[in-house]
Each structure stands twice: as structure tokens, then as C-alpha cells.
Amino acid sequence: MSMFGRRDGGTGSQSRVGGLAARAAGLTARAAPPEAPALGAADIIDAKLRLRPLIAAQIDKTHTADLGRGELAAAIERIVGAGAEAQKLTLDARERRVLVTMFLNELLPEGDVVRLDRRASPPAPAATSRANIEEAAPRIYPLVMERIDSEVATKLSRPDLAIQLAGIVAEILTELKIQLNQREQRDLVTLMLNDMLGLGPLEVLLADDTVNDILVNGAKNIYVERRGKLERADVTFRDDAHVMAICTRIVSSIGRRVDESTPLVDARLADGSRVNIIIPPLAIDGPSISIRKFSKKTIDLDVMARQGNVSPAMATILKIAARCKLNILISGGTGSGKTTLLNAMSQMIDPAERIVTIEDAAELQLQQPHVVRLETRPPNLEGRGEIGMRDLVKNALRMRPDRIILGEIRGEEAIDMLQAMNTGHDGSLGTIHANRPREALTRLENMVGMSGINLPSKAVRTQIAAAIHMILQISRMRDGVRRVTSITEVVGMEGEVITTQELYSYKFEGEAADGTLRGRFETAGLRPAFTPRAEYYGLDRLLVEAIG
């Protein structure tokens, strides 16, 4: 099946590369006899495969360097002409040129392939190849889009579409007298496939397992985070319109929109990666995309202990805390690893429990079988129909949950979450943006005030002290490693102040020669306030050993 249709008015070309409608109607080439089938873009590839043995048999590749480019092209053209006649293939002048160019680029050494820009001395081969592709793509892409049936293209598999694109790209390169070697043509086809089926230049970064975050600041400035450090990526978009096209593709896949009326959007990719998009006029230097990649490997507390995010004893305490159904608040800055730690903690939840998760953009990776995932909804064009976190928390209480997990507590939903924790939904988890455990409690108190409920400060703090059992503080340090810097228990109230005790903390000691930080996870040696609860679950001895 071909999705390409020539629009050039030539009778022979129209009949040969006529597109789906013409083929469905059974049209054949007028100038060719019935036994000579019409050649389309995919057929050129087939012709190449049929003629390649003749080229290999009659041209010794080891001696091609002794021939001039013109002499070699003439020899290939003679073989193509004779082979097409013997196999009853009808090739017009354009199709012959396409095949000759394909075979020529296969036979010539890469250095002999004519480049697009000869004005400066060539840089390193990889950089030269990328420059050639980047220069050719804007000229070729519009012509490709003119000749394809986009409706059919969306129904083709990626390999089938790649075959179709390879033929039409080779044809256009010949028409424009642009010569790229085979590898560059493959890279150009891959680039177009990513644009048509994926997220354009971002596909390469999404496939790179070492990349955690992708940050697009306009068309030409793309950064990635690897191992906790930001670095500039070597990919770019063509222009801001190209970035906007990718933004639209991301949000439309989940039923949202991004335009001047809605310039801020939270979304997610098909693999679960979290996306934030902000466009002009709010983003002055062009559309901005921030992608937090979905981790393909499951990270549990044991893995975090091996990576140095926590000590083995701390991992044991966190396992016991999750098993004992403590209400836990995970505190940290942006990109500190709060969601990763939340996912690791959630793996200790009993599979028999019913869990309801509430998020702005669903990204939690719970492994339990009985999970209900809820996601907020933005308002429509008329500004109606918005469903916020508070609405979902209220609804979750009517769904008979054993545990409620909030992806992030950041507003008036805090009061409903506290009430849920105080009314039998023990073992609930949530994250909050704060730099220290005490600041997390203060922020929680401020959020309760945002709900419009007029309560005295002491009443709010009493409710927080009764609801939250433990605060885990996590930080991304300057060596890029994320570490749990504090395990803090909420003990109760003294007067109007919430009292806490720190069970474990991270003590910085210096910097190693390779730039990593040296330090130790230090126990306070205090008896945890939740020891009686651990005893109820038969885990008190393990807890005492972990505290040391």
C-alpha cells in the first residue's frame, strides 16, 4: 500500500504514483503494457532490491575509488537500464535517477559523497552528517508533506511508513539535486518518522535511559538532566512553530489543549512521563516544555539503600513505618525525588488493601492490584467543569479506601486530607514542597487556611499533630545524588507548638576527589514514638535494631 501521490500533472507520473484512490479504482500505467506494473515510491525500493545483485556482480566495489563520480554513475545507469528491461520494469527518467543515486551513494566512500555546504572545511564526520541533515530537512519536509496522504500515514506501522518515506525522500533529494549518503538518508527518514509519529527531536532523549528530565527553552535551547546534573542536549527544533506542533500533539492525546486562552498545561506522555507546557505570551522566548521521565525500572527501598539514597537501617525503618500504616508526609524541593520515594514506600502496602491515588497528572507507579487512580480536570473553554484536588479527595472518602495517596498537597485540599487521616484512613501518603520538616508543617498549616475554614491556629496544629505521624525530608545535593536527609516523627503538642523528634539524619563530612559528597546517615538513638504500633504489627524488635 502506498500513501504517496504525485501532484505534478505528468500523465505517466500520475498513473504510476497515483495514491490510494487511484489504486483502489484499479488504474494502471497508460504507457506501459499490462505485464509492466506501475512503479510507486514503495516499488522503487522493490526495484532497488531486484537490481542490486546486478550492480554487485558487475561493479567491483574495491575499485570504485579509481573511477570518477560521473563515470561510475554512467556505469550504474547502463546496468539499471539493462536490468529493468530484462525484468520488465518500467522506469521513467526520474525513477532511474533515484535508483542511480541510491546505488551511487552505496558504492562511493562516505568522504566522496557530495555535501550540501562546501564553503568551510568539514568538521568531524558526525558533526558534518548532522549539519547536512539539519540543512536538508527544512527543504525536504514540506515537499514530503505535500505528497503524502496523512490519513493513511497514521494507519501504517512505523516500519511500513519508513519504507514509504525512504522512497519519496530519495526522489525529492534527486529533484532538488541534494546528495546525502545512505546513513544520512536513513537519519533523515528517522527524523521525519519522529516528527510524524512521535515527539520529533525529543524522541532520541526519551529513548535515552540516562536522561531523567528534558527541558525545552524555545526551539534551539534544550537541556537534559543526567545523574542529577544539567547539560545541554545536541538536538534542536526547526523553529517555534515546530515546538508548538509537538506541544499540541502531547496535550491532544489526553484531551487537553494549549493555546493563547490556555497557555499553561500539565499533561503526561503515553509512558506516564509528566509534562508541563507553557507558551507565549507567558513564555517570552518561545514555547517551553518540561518533561519528568517515567522510570522504566522499579525502584524500591532496597535499591535506594544500595544507591546511597538511604542507609540500610533507614530503609528498614521506612519499611516498618509503611507496614504499620503510619500517615507519612514526604517533603522536598523540585526534582528532589519525592515521587520516587513515594513509589518506593507504596510497595510496602499490603496487596489486599484498596488504594485511591489523587494527582494533577497521573505518574505514580503502584504495583498493587486494587488501585483506583484519580486525576484532576482543567476547566473547559467557558471556564466550567473544573475538577480540583479537593473535589477528588472528598469523593475518595466515599469510595471505601483503605489508603489515600496524594501526589502533591499544595492547596485547600490539605484540610480534607487531614480529616481523612484523622477518620480511620491510616497509612495515607502525600508529598509537599518544603526545605525542612518543620517548614513542611508550617506550609500544611498555611494550606488549611486557604480552604476558607476559620479555625484557631492551635486547633489546626492539633489536627496536624494527630494526623501526621512521620515526615521524610529528601534533597538533591550538589553532587546530583538524592538523599533522605531526615526521618522525623511528629510526637504531639506542647502548648501551641507541634513537637517532633528526629530519628535519623544525614551529616555532611566533605567532598571526595570525584566530586561526590562524603557523609554518613546518623541515628539519634531515640525510641520511636510509634514503637507500640510496631509491636502491634510484630515489628518492634526489628525497629529497635534499626534505631541502634
* Residue among 464, 503, 465 at smallest CA distance from 485: 503
Q: At what angle do helices 437-450 and 457-467 cross, to 10 degrees?
A: 120
| pLDDT recorded at residue 107 | 73
Report the 10 Å Cβ neighbour count for 111.
Answer: 10
* Residue among 447, 453, 398, 397 at smallest CA distance from 422: 397
For 220-271, what is each residue's pLDDT tens digit?
999 999 888 889 998 888 889 989 989 998 888 877 888 888 898 888 888 8
> Which CATH number is 202-292 given?
3.30.450.370
| pLDDT recorded at residue 65 | 56
For 422-463, what is each residue's pLDDT tens digit?
887 889 999 999 999 999 999 999 998 888 788 888 999 999
Please state, in angstroms and as integers, the Cα–Cα distance from residue 357 to each residue in 89, 109, 364, following that order: 62, 58, 8
| pLDDT recorded at residue 270 | 81
Tell me which residue has cell 489536627. Answer: 463
Cβ atoms of residues 389 and 294 within 8 Å: no
Rounded CA gap, 103 and 121, in Å?
27
The fold of the 301-547 domain, in CATH, is: Rossmann fold (3.40.50)
Residue spans of the domains in the chain: they are 1-193, 202-292, 301-547
DSSP 3-state of 99? helix
| pLDDT recorded at residue 43 | 65
Specify the length of the chain in residues: 548
- In 3-state terms the chain splits into helix, strand, coil percentages (rounded to 5) of 45, 20, 40
Please state, in angstroms and as integers, the Cα–Cα distance from residue 171 to each residue in 76, 149, 192, 536, following that order: 17, 17, 15, 75
Cβ neighbours for 434, distance < 8 A, ≥ 6 positions apart: 331, 332, 440, 442, 443, 473
What is the chain's Cα-based Rg?
Answer: 31
Rounded CA gap, 302 and 308, in Å?
10
**Which residues of the chain carry a pLDDT beneath 50?**
1-2, 4-39, 110-124
* Residue among 34, 47, 121 at smallest CA distance from 81: 47
Q: Which phi and psi (to 5°) does residue 129 adopt?
A: -60, -45
Model confidence, pTM: 0.66
* Residue among 124, 292, 103, 105 at smallest CA distance from 183: 105
Cβ atoms of residues 465 and 433 within 8 Å: no
| pLDDT recorded at residue 453 | 80
| pLDDT recorded at residue 282 | 92
Rounded CA gap, 95 and 42, in Å?
12
* Residue among 142, 150, 139, 143 at smallest CA distance from 19: 150
Amino acid at 442: T
What separation, in Å, do the N-terminal and C-terminal C-alpha atoms of the chain show?
70
Please state, in angstroms and as integers, the Cα–Cα distance from residue 31 to each residue in 23, 87, 88, 117, 540, following that order: 16, 17, 13, 40, 89
